[in-house]
Structure 1
Amino acid sequence: MSRILIASDAWHPQINGVVRTLERLARHLPELGAEAIMLTPDGFNTVPCPTYPEIRLTVAPPGSIARKLDAVDPDHVHIATEGPLGFAVRRWCIQRRRLFTTSYHTRFPEYLAARLPVPVDWSYGVLRHFHNAGAGCMVSTRSIEQELRGRGFRNLMRWSRGVDAELFHPGRNRAVLDLPRPIYLYVGRVAVEKNIGAFLDLKLPGSKVVVGDGPALDGLRRAHPEVSFLGTRVGTDLADIYAASDCFVFPSRTDTFGVVMLEAMASGLPVAAFPVAGPRDVVGNSGAGILDDDLQAAALAALAISRERCRQVALQNSWQSATRQFLDNVTGVHRTFASHAFA
């Protein structure tokens, strides 16, 4: 069984698409004959991320990380995030001349620019330097691939996402939300880059529900006392809330994918979103949602979409197929390296 070390600065107790994706990857890789060895902030000293204390950044001497990697001696290294841990593992790979891949999950340049006066092009320059050192950079959608290629990123490979269709389905307990209908739902981090205000400011009949936590929560709760803020929910609690709602509103303009949209559709919820990368790739012209620059019009029109159609579209995306795609990328770069080495 091949041993793949996956390094990620994002891990529990964080709840986000990166963590969910890596959890599923680690779960399904053994089914394909590979073992996932997770290298995360667990076991290291950490400090809170400036402006986002829920995220903890690893503080460890490079030598201690290098010793861990030497002891594991994996067959392949995949670096999932561009944080302190990711940079330390990248350094080890380059020093040891070890093949590695990376993945691009988050638009950090836009997220940083939303908080600090840092030019987006500068940040992309750092990310380009980080990812181009690897044998391949995995991206989740065609839109992101085109965008990064235009910014000079090389060796881009597709790695999609999936959904747990057994957990998220329309037949769950719809009585958990005793609110006027229709119920419009948002699930995700409550942070400035998610553009949640664009959803909460809409003039919609019925009720609005927000599930999630983050640095913008207190401010939004004060500004919108009419909205039901339910905090963080996971597992069956989250699945029940999806099934009990009528429309999923995804106001983000910066997400690279949006696993929550698949979870919503698997639960029978139509999606209302802006026509940008993420929604364009996940929903597109599938008939499971409405994409419109007028988010209010999209939310109202989405109510006419059948729950059955939404479920059908979501079922086209499984974590098993996403894991196979990841492993094919890894084996592919090793085949390419071997053919070049013996050419």
Structure 2
Amino acid sequence: MRILIVSDAWSPQVNGVVTCLRALVSELEALGHEVCLLSPADFRSRPCPTYPEIRLSWDLWRVGGKIRAFAPDCVHLATEGPLGWAARRWLGRRGWAFTSAIHTRFPEYLSTRWRWLPLAIGYAFLRRFHAPSAAVLVSSERMRQAFAERGVAHLALWRKGVDVGVFQPNVFPRGDAVFLYVGRLAPEKNLEAFLRLDLPGRKRVVGDGPQRAELQARYPQVEFLGYRYGVELAEAYRSASVLVFPSLTDTLGLVMYEALACGTPVAAFPVAGPLDVLIEGRTGALDTDLRNACLRALALDRRDCARWAAEQSWRVSAQQFLALQRALVERPPCRADALPVSD
């Protein structure tokens, strides 16, 4: 099949959405499909306010021509940004069916950054964007239920995976305990819930973002390592005793899969995301007291973590994605009950 993916998130951004899409494209091509990814790299763009590493495309009138030139068999809208909206509008006006995905709890992120903004506005935005979608892909049953309760329709399950070729267990760490965070350094990640904990050993942070300078100044005892990629990132996981995942709003958290594949247990709050990934007492410790979770995770068997993660793969994830796309190819191109003539 000729598969078009439209995403406002792409290199050089470093986040779970980009990691997921990179793996998806690689697996789809390995399975013999032709994939075109439309991203800000294909358009003129400007830095996003407060997130300069995120580029927002603005010559969006070119989107339709690029879709028509590729002549896809199926289209997937990965994000709700400017490119996603432009492609949605073009497809809707021509009666083309498409799938979309919810990778993040966007309304909660907005309310975290702008506390005066009601969640209801964010969810109204989310419902409007995904309303014409033939299938709205989410990472877990818990997320499917949560978004259904908020009025999002046509939800379908698309599980994520891990690169088991890169993220593998090796020698287990010795010496002082090392508590690791991996991800963006931004308010919605709730990172200070980890940094302010009184824990034995050392704390390390892998990643970057708008809060780095502030947090590095406030917590000088923490090792801030910046971004790590590939084998260096895998080594950071392997050298850690516990991955700490303090987020309250992530829909999944691919870093948990990566850590577990390296044999590193996870400590987290008992919220959506960790509840969908971790097995309490086996691969992770879940507790409303994050310090307690961190200390309990130290005692978990790293071999159990690695064995569980070895069964998760991006190939299985890609095949699940393909099944949802084939359903579009095999049906009439227009859903009269879902696809509007125009916005």
Tell me the TM-score normalized by structure 1.
0.94
Listed as ranges, the matches of 1:1-343 within 5 Å are: 2-62=1-61, 64-116=62-114, 117-171=116-170, 181-285=176-280, 287-337=282-332
TM-fit CA distance, 1:339: 12
Would you say the 8 A contact 2:179–2:243 is kept in 1?
A: yes
User: Unaligned 5+ residue runs, structure 2?
Assistant: 337-343
CA RMSD of aligned residues (A): 1.7
Identity among equivalent positions (%) equals 48
Letter matched to residue 70 of structure 2: V
Shift of 1:181: 1.3
Name the CA distance, whole Å, in 2 between partners of 1:245 and 1:98. Answer: 48
User: Per-residue deviation at 1:249?
Assistant: 0.4
Equivalent AA in structure 2 for residue 26 of structure 1: V
Contact 2:6 2:38 in 1 (8 A): yes
- Secondary structure, counterpart of 2:167 in structure 1: coil
After superposition, the Cα gap between the structure-2 partners of 1:146 and 1:52, relative to the gap in structure 1 and judged at 3 Å, is: same
Measured in 2, the distance between the counterparts of 1:124 and 1:70 equals 31
2:341 is aligned to none
Asked whether the 8 Å contact 1:172–1:239 carries over to 2, the reply is no
Tell me which amino acid in the other structure corresponds to 2:130: H
Give the letter aligned to residue 140 of structure 2. T
Alignment: residue pair count: 335
Return closer, same or farther for 1:19/1:205 CA change in 2, 3 Å cut-off.
same
Shift of residue 99 of structure 1?
A: 1.0
Residues 70-126 of structure 1 show CA distances to partners (whole Å, capped at 9, x for unaligned) of 111111110000000000010111011111000000112111112222211111111
Distance in 1, matches of 2:224 and 2:28, equals 36
Aligned equivalents of 1:135 and 1:286: distance in 2? 39
The one-character-per-residue Cα deviations of 1:37-65 (angstroms, maximum 9, x if unpaired) are 11011131111112211111111142x11
Any idea what SS the aligned residue of 1:42 has?
helix
Specify the code of the residue in structure 1 equivalent to 2:101: S
- Distance, in Å, in 2 between the alignment partners of 1:93 and 1:286 is 47
Greater CA drift, 164-173 or 35-44: 164-173
TM-score, length-scaled by structure 2: 0.94
Whole-Å Cα distance in 2 between the matches of residues 211 and 314 of structure 1? 21
Q: Which runs of 4+ in 1 moved over 3 A?
A: 172-175, 333-341
> Which ranges in structure 1 are unaligned for 5 or more consecutive residues?
none
Q: Tell me which moved more, 307-316 or 284-293.
A: 284-293
Q: Which is bigger in relative contact order (C-alpha 8 A, separation at least 6)?
A: 2
Deviations 1:115-140 (A, max 9, x none): 22221111111111111211110000
> What is the letter of the counterpart of residue 82 of structure 2?
P
Contact 2:142 2:276 in 1 (8 A): yes
**Residue 31 of structure 1: CA displacement?**
3.3
SS at 2:37 equivalent: strand
Amino acid at match of 1:260: V
